[in-house]
Amino acid sequence: MKSATIDSMRVLQTDTYSIFAEDVLAEMLKYIDPGKLNDEQKQVFKIVKKWDKHFGADEIGATIFNSWWTNFYNETWQDEFGNPEGSNLKGPDRDRTIKLLLKEPNSKWFDNIHTSAKEDCKEILNQTFAVTVAELTRKYGKPGTKWEWGNVKETYINHLANILGLGVGNFKAGGASTTVNALIDGHGPSWRMVVQMGPQVKGFGVFPGGESGNPGSFFYSNLLQTWKDGRLNELLFLKDASESSSRIQSTLTLTSR
């Protein structure tokens, strides 16, 4: 980023573009023959093919891609790393799976050891695409608003002290673990901040919820919408104790005996 500004850095913090999807989606799609799909699968294929790789709250393509990749990963590894009871085996990471997809489509790891057939990358991708369409249709009906990423993923804000039942959620939001706005489940970029350096330092920031952990306080969730909108508030930065500000509501002076 050249000539970065406070606002360009603020916008970056809410970026939902996935480099991961950029790396693998085209490769996944090339193994699917639309002519062999049923009408339902063709519709889903067209949606994910046109998807712009942003995990925005309203994106249906994000939901399809995420589910398809999860099924593809599981089908590739679960026969060897299925974590049977008592096993401590950990499945290979995402980077290793990406390498198989991009560089080793005939790898032995794609073969399901529990079947007589010899599966390859193409076979696994076609199988899991069909499974993905069936699963999403069973859960959410035909492609529509219920398929939108923000409605499918879990997004919520825990209480400051992590007290169950006193958080804020669920709400519709974009972002994923593979985007700059890494918001997924109850995890993500809670505190956002940008600092302007120079002769006069200025800070801008926001965190979800509010400054009070008391559910009865006005300041319990008053900053949530600001955070959800990706906006930042200018922070109060006093250079010395004698400096005043209209934003100061009260002061507390500590003295030693």
* Consecutive H or E run containing 69: helix 60-77
How large is the average pLDDT for residues 132-147? 97
Percentage of the chain surpassing pLDDT 90? 63
- Picking from 118, 133, 152, the residue at the C-terminal end of a domain is 152
Query: What is the span of the domain harbouring residue 144?
Result: 6-152
End-to-end, the C-alpha distance of the chain in Å comes to 53
How large is the average pLDDT for residues 160-173? 80
pLDDT band for 254, please (50, 70, 90 cuts): confident
- Does 136 have pLDDT greater than 80? yes
CB atoms < 10 A from the CB of 226, how many?
16
Q: Do 36 and 106 reside in the same domain of the chain? A: yes
Q: Which segments of 86-138 are extended strands (E)? A: none
Question: Minimum mean pLDDT among 16-20, 119-123, 153-157: which range?
Answer: 153-157
pTM summary value: 0.88
Highest mean pLDDT among 80-89, 97-106, 221-230: 97-106
Token output for 61: 């393509």
In the sheet with 192-196, reading across from the earlier edge strand, the strands are 192-196, 202-206, 233-234
Long-range contacts of 217-224 (CB under 8 A, 24+ apart): 221/168, 224/157, 224/168
Q: Do 85 and 211 reside in the same domain of the chain? A: no
How large is the average pLDDT for residues 229-240? 89
Q: Do 17 and 140 reside in the same domain of the chain? A: yes
pLDDT for the residue numbered 29 = 98
- Does 83 have pLDDT greater than 80? no
pLDDT for the residue numbered 163 = 79
Q: How many domains would you assign to the chain?
A: 2
Q: Do 138 and 44 reside in the same domain of the chain? A: yes
In a domain, 164, yes or no: no
pLDDT tens, residue by residue, 96-110: 999 999 999 999 999
Q: How far apart are the C-alpha atoms of 61 and 53, rounded to whole Å?
A: 8
- Does 85 have pLDDT greater than 60? no
pLDDT band for 141, please (50, 70, 90 cuts): very high
* Greater model confidence, 164 or 39: 39
* Greater model confidence, 246 or 67: 67
Q: How far apart are the C-alpha atoms of 250 and 178, rounded to whole Å?
A: 42
pLDDT for the residue numbered 111 = 94
Is the Cβ–Cβ distance between 24 and 103 less than 8 Å?
no
Q: Do 45 and 127 reside in the same domain of the chain? A: yes
